[in-house]
């Protein structure tokens, strides 16, 4: 579940634990990941692909909390 920082006090009420992750982009790491991906050592799982016009459907699926992989929006 994705929640905002303002929901931190509400998390225990719903029986969830909240944690934050900060990500800092690294060109060096991205290049290494690209090499691993190209070599077949990294794989991604796509749950569903939606055209951008169906973004509401994709968002609703995401809110359900039962996806196993990434949701992709395509721009034509």
Instruction: Tell me: pLDDT of 4 over 60.
Output: no
**Domain co-membership, 38 together with 51:** no
Q: How far apart are CA 71 and CA 58, in angstroms?
A: 7
**Domain co-membership, 59 together with 39:** no
Rg from Cα positions in the chain? 16
Instruction: Tell me: pLDDT of 22 over 90.
Output: no
Domain that residue 57 falls in? 44-76
pLDDT in tens, 34-64: 999 999 998 888 999 999 999 999 999 998 8
**Domain co-membership, 70 together with 50:** yes
Percent of the chain clearing pLDDT 70 (strictly above): 91
**Domain co-membership, 58 together with 37:** no
Instruction: Tell me: pLDDT of 13 over 70.
Output: yes
Q: Got the DSSP string for 1-50?
A: ----GGGTTTGGGGT-----------HHHHHHHHHHHHTTS----EEEEE
Q: How many domains does the chain have?
A: 2
């Amino acid at each position: 579940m994705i929640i905002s920082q303002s929901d931190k006090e509400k998390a225990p009420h719903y029986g969830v634990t909240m944690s934050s992750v900060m990500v800092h982009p690294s060109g060096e790491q991205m290049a290494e990941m690209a090499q691993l991906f190209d070599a077949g050592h990294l794989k991604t799982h796509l749950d569903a692909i939606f055209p951008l016009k169906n973004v509401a459907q994709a968002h609703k699926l995401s809110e359900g909390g039962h996806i196993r992989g990434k949701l992709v929006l395509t721009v034509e």
